[in-house]
Amino acid sequence: MTALRVVQWATGTIGSRSLRAVVEHPGLDLAGVYVHSPDKAGRDAGELYGPGTGVVTGVTVTQDIEDVVELGADCVLYMPLLCDLDEVCRLLESGANVVTTRGEFHHPPSMDPVVRERVEVACERGGTSIHSTGSSPGFITEAVPLVLTSIARRVDRLTIDEYANLSQRPSPELLFEVMGFGSAPAAFDQGRLSHARESFGPSLRLVADALSLPLDSLEADGELATARRRVRIAAGELAAGTVAAQRLTVTGLHAGRPLLRFRATWYCTTDLDPAWDLHDTGWHVSVEGDAPLEVGLRLPVPLDRMAAVSPSYTANRAVNAVPFVCAAEPGIRTTLDLPQITAVLGRGGGSGKG
């Protein structure tokens, strides 16, 4: 089959890993790369592939969206820090399908109606599709729950726990300044609760809709735990009594009762006050109902290598979704609209709309 021509949009932590996956994929051809940094523009995309690899792609990196449009690519892997609706609609109208790790398109019914209509019109004009995915939200909040509940006839509650041990993450700015570790405990920031609800709520609504148990509402709350004693981590030092763990919980209610719950727990030490039940970095999914399940998914990676390996979990699912999105009917396509995403690891390919 003819390989699909793909553009990588943005080359940050996730985008760089996605770029590498596209280059190595047997059914995809790298058609172009869009970047935001002037120092990257004009270079061969292989220079962004990885330090010291010596890869030459023959693809010149650009900062001009019109350069991307003129390529006539089958798909754009859209992975910026912020979603620009003008960019997205321009790409879709031009005939390029979009797979994105941005979370704005997981559940069309809960999107702003004006935004949804604009995107759907762009898809109709271009004969294209757009799909949001990744590891979390995406894989763990949609694909896994839908598989686990496929053997149930009654679900009383489903809980997704995400754990991240950050003790060996050498990122003081992220941990201390952005996330607030090492600070005095205070009321949980309402902005972060709102962000969590907006990030994971659409996935919970999607799963609930699939189960014909639509959610009435979403709630978000947070908890903090402090270090019992002074502790040294890769990013610096945590004083006793300062924030050493935090937990964000988003709960979807059906008929006034909790039905679906996503709970993210990030911690820098296991010696906490109060003591929390902690797991290794990874996920744990609990299904309560007539076919109860307890499923653990551990990321078997040394903590000092986690930052280098973890981007693959998000980038790879997006890359693997490209053939399915290109083959889908035009519109905003969710996990429910697409077949199960299957990775093509050997020789193969895919075909776009046509």
Q: Which domains does the chain have, with CATH numbers?
A: 4-134+311-332 (3.40.50.720), 153-290 (no CATH)
Decide if 14 contacts 314 (C-beta within 8 A). yes
Nearest to 76 by CA among 108, 100, 49, 42: 100
- In this prediction, residue 50 carries a pLDDT of 64
> What is the number of residues in the chain?
354
Structure tokens at 310: 């973890």
Structure tokens at 170: 């050498």
Looking at the DSSP assignment, which residues form a beta bridge with residue 246? 224, 266
Nearest to 85 by CA among 35, 130, 20, 28: 130
- In this prediction, residue 48 carries a pLDDT of 85
Task: Provide the residue-wise pLDDT of the chain in tens; the chain has 354 residues.
Answer: 689 999 999 999 999 999 999 999 999 999 999 999 898 998 988 888 766 677 888 999 999 999 999 999 999 999 999 999 999 999 999 999 999 999 999 999 999 999 999 999 999 999 999 999 999 999 999 999 999 999 999 999 999 999 999 999 999 999 999 899 999 998 778 888 998 999 999 999 999 999 999 999 999 999 999 999 999 999 999 999 999 999 999 999 999 999 999 999 999 999 999 999 999 999 999 999 999 999 999 999 999 999 899 999 999 999 999 999 999 999 999 999 999 999 999 765 444 564
Nearest to 21 by CA among 77, 73, 81, 104: 77
Distances (CA, A) of 301 to 235, 304, 315: 19, 8, 17
Q: What is the pTM of this model?
A: 0.93
Q: What is the CA radius of gyration of the chain?
A: 21
